[in-house]
């Protein structure tokens, strides 16, 4: 049975471009076929900021969705030299569903999203998520027309392929840890 990998969209802002990036990752990943991929949009869960909401139905649904996944690809955008607050909140809104799973990162920003990706790596390590080394790094200046329309350079496909290969290997390894 193929692994099930969630492509986590890390932004909920109006005008966000993460759905375009997530769609591209899914289309390219489906061509390669290492796993079954699905886009998981944080916005669909209406998560309250951790510890502030009385209605926990979104948190429950978020945890249940994560439980069905074997691994993750985080679509990470850099806001103010870090990950978005909603992505940090989504990471904090679950615990056990992250444990002993693998993840990869696709980042973007004016500086390729590198600083935000490093913050995700720190939090992922604390949540027992094994994150792969290879990362796709996209530039708002080179990979987005007018900063809004995603038009990735072809060079990113090789990085994506390598990242997906590593994610497949680590997901298989982490499956044995969880069983």
User: DSSP for 22-72?
Assistant: HHHHHHHHHHH-SSEEEEEEGGGG-PPPTTT-S--HHHHHHHHHHHT-SEE
Local structure of residue 104 (DSSP, 8 states): E
Q: Per residue of the chain (179 residues), give pLDDT as tens.
A: 799 999 999 999 999 999 999 999 999 999 999 999 999 999 999 999 977 878 889 999 999 999 999 999 999 999 999 999 999 999 999 999 999 999 999 999 999 999 999 999 999 999 999 999 999 999 999 999 999 999 999 999 999 999 999 999 999 999 999 87
State which H helix or E strand residue 77 sits in: strand 71-77
The predicted-structure confidence for 133-142, as pLDDT tens digits, reads as follows 999 999 999 9
**Full-model pTM:** 0.96
Give SS3 for 3: coil
The predicted-structure confidence for 39-51, as pLDDT tens digits, reads as follows 999 999 999 997 7
- Would you say 7 and 75 are in contact if contact means Cβ atoms under 8 Å apart? yes
Regarding the domain with residue range 4-178, which homologous superfamily does it belong to in the CATH classification?
Answer: Flavodoxin domain (3.40.50.360)
């Amino acid at each position: 049975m193929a692994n099930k990998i969630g492509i986590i969209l890390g932004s909920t802002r109006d005008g966000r471009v993460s759905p375009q990036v997530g769609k591209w990752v899914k289309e390219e990943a489906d061509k390669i076929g290492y796993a079954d991929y699905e886009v998981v949009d944080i916005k669909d869960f209406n998560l309250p900021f951790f510890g502030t909401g009385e209605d926990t139905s979104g948190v429950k649904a978020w945890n249940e969705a994560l439980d069905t996944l074997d691994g993750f690809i985080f679509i990470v955008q850099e806001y103010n030299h870090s990950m978005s607050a909603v992505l940090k909140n989504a990471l904090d809104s679950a615990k056990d569903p992250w444990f002993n799973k693998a993840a990869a990162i696709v980042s973007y920003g004016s500086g390729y999203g590198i600083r935000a990706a490093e913050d995700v790596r720190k939090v992922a390590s604390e949540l027992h998520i094994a994150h792969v080394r290879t990362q796709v790094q996209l530039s708002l200046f080179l990979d987005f027309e007018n900063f809004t329309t995603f038009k990735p350079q072809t060079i990113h496909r090789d990085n994506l392929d390598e990242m997906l290969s590593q994610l497949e290997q680590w997901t298989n390894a982490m499956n044995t840890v969880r069983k």
